[in-house]
């Protein structure tokens, strides 16, 4: 299998002004593509491994030969996380549906969810992601470092925010909290609700 860059699904300026066109272009066509290229390079001499999907690689890290395992964590994770990220972004979608009911039950209120998720994103030291996941059928907020993916720990991601500087620095520079605040304008709640309902089946 050769790993490929999935379509972005919208134009580079679709999330303006919250994520600027230039950031989107570089993030998708350079960073995401870069993870795809490095993943292909990592599995080049590993025929068995190269027949596995990205999801299977990340869910079965113990089966990966030690010499390429870190490259799979980094670049397979980079491919998976970004492929997950783009479809959960859409401007001005109302937060509603079963997922919002479940967040109210778990966190007490939507505002409390927003606070805890934002804190997780703001306090992640260095590069990584904050996630809303399902763990054993329950909502939880977690952080992952670098390109580690929640699916490697048996978690089901529902929302992820990329807090690598490459995701926001051109527009926000050091103002990560402002990027996080604006992220709430571009969560595709319809998609997130679909992921939730699928995972609860």
**Separation CA 167–CA 89 (nearest Å):** 13
Nearest C-alpha neighbor of 39 from the set 11, 64, 12: 64
Closer residue to Mn ion, CB minimum distance, 131 or 164: 164
Cβ-count burial 112-127 (b if 16+ within 10 Å, e if not): ebbebbbebbeebeee
Closer residue to Mn ion, CB minimum distance, 90 or 196: 90
DSSP 193: H
- The least distance separating Mn ion from the CB of residue 29, rounded to whole angstroms, comes to 12
Q: Give the pair of three-digit tokens for residue 192.
A: 């997130």
- The least distance separating Mn ion from the CB of residue 26, rounded to whole angstroms, comes to 10
- The least distance separating Mn ion from the CB of residue 107, rounded to whole angstroms, comes to 26
Closer residue to Mn ion, CB minimum distance, 164 or 196: 164
DSSP of 70-118: HHIIIIIHHHHHHHHHGGGB-TT----SHHHHHHHHHHSSHHHHHHHHH
By beta-carbon distance, which residue lies closest to Mn ion?
162
- The least distance separating Mn ion from the CB of residue 137, rounded to whole angstroms, comes to 29
Closer residue to Mn ion, CB minimum distance, 68 or 78: 78
Closer residue to Mn ion, CB minimum distance, 36 or 99: 36
- The least distance separating Mn ion from the CB of residue 83, rounded to whole angstroms, comes to 11
Task: List interacting residues with Mn ion (CB under 5 A).
Answer: 162, 164, 167
Between vectors from CA 67 to CA 66 and to CA 70, what angle results, nearest 5°? 80
């Amino acid at each position: 299998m050769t790993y490929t860059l999935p379509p972005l699904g919208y134009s580079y300026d679709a999330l303006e002004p919250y994520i600027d066109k230039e950031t989107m272009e570089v993030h998708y066509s350079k960073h995401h593509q870069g993870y795809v290229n490095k993943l292909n390079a990592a599995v080049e001499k590993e025929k068995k491994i190269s027949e596995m999907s990205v999801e299977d690689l990340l869910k079965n890290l113990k089966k990966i030969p030690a010499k390429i395992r870190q490259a799979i964590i980094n670049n397979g994770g980079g491919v998976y996380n970004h492929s997950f990220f783009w479809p959960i972004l859409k401007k001005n979608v109302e937060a509603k549906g079963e997922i919002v009911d479940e967040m109210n039950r778990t966190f007490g209120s939507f505002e409390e969810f927003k606070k805890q998720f934002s804190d997780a994103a703001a306090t992640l030291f260095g590069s990584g992601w904050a996630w809303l996941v399902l763990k054993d059928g329950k909502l939880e907020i977690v952080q992952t470092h670098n390109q580690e993916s929640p699916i490697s720990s048996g978690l089901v991601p529902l929302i992820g925010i990329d807090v690598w500087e490459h995701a926001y620095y051109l527009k926000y520079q050091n103002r990560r909290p402002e990027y996080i605040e604006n992220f709430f304008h571009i969560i595709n709640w319809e998609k997130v609700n679909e992921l939730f309902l699928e995972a609860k089946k």
